[in-house]
A and B are shown apart, each in its own frame.
Chain A
Amino acid sequence: MTISEPKALEEILGTLAGQNKVFLVGCSDCATVVQVGGEEQLKQMAAKLAENGKTVTGMLVAEPGCHLLGLRKEFRAHRQEIDSADAMLIMSCGTGAQTAAQASEKPVHSGTNTLFLGCVERFGQFKEYCSACGDCTLEQTGYICSVTRCSKGLQNGPCGGTTPEGKCEINPETDCGWLLIYNKLKDQGKVEALRSFTAPKEALVHPGQRTLSREGKEE
């Protein structure tokens, strides 16, 4: 799940300066669950824009907003509303905003900040678990990610900053990831695995935009 939060209204209005007719785009997947770009949030945004003198020409909860061909099709179905707008305001994630910018010639603005890949812990509560590093070592760390859960992303054990309460010294709210890993492996009788050296990760470095082609791949 891509976790995003709305930008401040002032910032959004700033990006829309001089563009009075706006088409709103949300997303039926992550942005709906995260309550940033679902139908409800689009309606609320439309009301706020109206209060600030803007005209909302229409809105679309894309299914989903990060599917380029699908979005082009959905935009065609809303051609009139989009054509009559000066700009589109995308209320999903960074990928959604850029997909929309490719799917339409209309100027695009993002109404959110994209934060992390997360898990929905319960309604409205999200936590980061995976950094998409491209070199998964969860098998060695008891399915607690050292890249994400250790504030420094350390690979060979903790620094000296574990507090007596088991938190990370940089933030009393944040668990020490290595303590979680250590305790989990201890419970599983696998703590000896931590004695082996972990080599530096290579795949954290990616040459620009990462791509994946599954075409022709055997399942």
Chain B
Amino acid sequence: MNANNRSFVLACLTLTSTAFGQAQPAEPPAPGAPREFRLPQPTKIELGNGMRATLVEYGSLPKVTVQLVVRSGELNAGEQTWLAQLTGELMQEGTQQHGASEVADLAAALGGQVSVTVNLDTTTISGDVLAENAPQLIALIGEIARTPALPESEAERVRGDLLRALTVAKSQAQAQAREAFARHVYGASHPYGRPYPSEEQLASYSAEDARVFHDANFGAQRSHLYVAGKFDAAAVKGAIDSVFGDWQSGPAILVDVPQTVATRAVVLLDRPGAPQSTVILGLVVVDPSNRDYVPLQVMNSLLGGSFGSRITANIRENKGYTYSPRSELNNNYKVATWAELADVTSEHTADSLAEIVAEISRLKAEPPPAEELQGIKNYMSGVFVLGNSDRGSIISVLRYADLHGLADDYLNTYLQRVAAVTPEEVSRLAAEYLPTDTLTLVVVGDLKTVKPQLAGLDWISESDLN
């Protein structure tokens, strides 16, 4: 699928075709000849102040998506967990030029709204509007990024909203489990290991704190603007120059990679009366810049990361223990984890865990059949095409490559690297990266039901349960 100057074709299965023209052949008709797929062609720009921009003209639908990604997230807030979040919320309360309602009206007239989202590594100011309005949207995003009002008058309300959001988030079993898992693998001293603040801590932040944070962390060097969809390229380039050309370079990107924990833990959190146990079983693996990462993605899809995967087929389609099990590779800058996540019937918590571990062990013990692996590789190739066939997805893919500093040929060679994975390699990766004795287990569930079950698992010791 695709590349800048070359085009690839989709890897396809050869299926036997039966006589064409029969009413209903007994076997699925074979696919037609694979179609050519070209990767969208990005235009990359760098301004004198270090700001970068990537433009992708894509599709015929008259809409455009613009995202300004600033490498300023909770990582940069350090011990002040969610100060980046508070800053992001306050950035939506108007600019030095326009009040909050005016900003909302301006964005609505362009056919959308501007939102600010904050995660561990970045703050993203984004909008999605009618095609002809791209330059105006870029101007509005620039205004919010560079000159937010961060009004003291709105701080109390915004803090209240965040306190409510925090409380509601932490009432979710899945959020509790993810927090416990992150805390163990990344350590509570690193922002990656501390996804939530205490209520007292959050309540202590002021608009002044947000202003200090904004001043210290926003600037051209840390910023990358993505534009994808239909737009007038000359007008967009002109807007980028005029809106961001005189932005101060600001601070360099902060690199602060956590010391990850390689030892296992068993974390049990009580949720009395819960009809399901929310489980995470996982560990730290290599990050996206490692050459094993794409092969690990293949292994993950086969093991638990797709509907047809082994763990899903087992605990859902065979046993009926759960509805939406999945394994995933989850990454931040220079770190990643692999984990299986599932909400399973309380009574079958240990049964589910035993099956998950059995599937991991089976993959280590024997390479998957070539046909099964080929099917997964085809699936991943198809998903890659989809991921490059929609303006929002295109930006996601580019952001991923940029965040992790992946080489320019990353996208061009992705499919080849997927295709090159062998059954033996999948088995080797499982053995190397998923050692059973270092898997961390988190269970959020009704512990009086769950604990006696766990005692029956041979990889759980008595001390794990105390």
Q: Do A and B come from one complex?
A: no
Residues of B in contact with A (beta carbons under 8 Å apart):
none
